[in-house]
């Protein structure tokens, strides 16, 4: 059996960054994402969402890719919201996402960052945060 620890900070937003994850929907969504991830053997260490995006700290398994994990989490959760008519409109996640590696020494710091999203976004909009992540990690913004 391989012993692997690859930490990924995954960030993705609602389609068009619409602020549609209500305070009522949020705990149900977080629980559902965790439960579904467990069934699919995706290890979620920490997760938090606010009205327009999610942050998840994941430890990838030996045969998992970031794209596969993102697809499984995003696709299934949007399907679940729509199937259960949890919103009056059709829900979907934005196609793009950010997935960055996290060193073992930074795991607690990332957990705290994810945990404090509400406070963090009182000072900074998600679009600003997203652009800072792109710049920090040297990504080129498409379009």
Using DSSP, how many helices (H) and how many strands (E) does the chain show?
5, 4
Please determine, for residue 121, whether its predicted confidence score (pLDDT) is greater than 90: no
Quick one: average pLDDT of 64-87? 96
Please determine, for residue 108, whether its predicted confidence score (pLDDT) is greater than 60: yes
Please determine, for residue 143, whether its predicted confidence score (pLDDT) is greater than 60: no
Quick one: average pLDDT of 13-18? 95
Domains present along the chain, CATH in parentheses: 6-136 (3.30.70.1290)
What's the pLDDT tens digit per position in 17-68? 999 999 999 999 999 999 999 999 999 999 999 999 999 999 999 999 999 9
pLDDT averaged over every residue in the chain: 91
CA distance 133 to 130: 5
Ramachandran assignment for 85, one of left (phi > 0), alpha (psi -120 to 50 degrees), beta (any other): left
Residue 8 confidence class, pLDDT cut points 50, 70, 90: very high
Higher pLDDT, 140 or 110: 110
Distance of CA 109 to the CA centre of its chain: 16
């Amino acid at each position: 059996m391989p012993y692997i620890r690859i930490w990924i900070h995954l960030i993705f937003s609602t389609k068009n960054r619409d602020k549609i994850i209500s305070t009522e929907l949020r705990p149900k969504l977080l629980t559902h994402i965790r439960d579904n991830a467990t069934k699919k053997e995706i290890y979620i260490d920490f997760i938090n969402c606010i009205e327009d995006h999610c942050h998840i700290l994941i430890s990838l398994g030996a045969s998992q890719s970031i794209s596969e994990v993102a697809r499984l989490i995003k696709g299934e959760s949007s399907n679940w919201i729509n199937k259960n008519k949890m919103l009056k409109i059709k829900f979907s996640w934005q196609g793009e996402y950010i997935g960055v590696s996290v060193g073992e020494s930074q795991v607690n710091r990332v957990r705290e960052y994810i945990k404090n999203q509400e406070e963090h976004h009182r000072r900074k909009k998600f679009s600003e945060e997203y652009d800072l992540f792109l710049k920090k990690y040297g990504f080129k913004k498409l379009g």
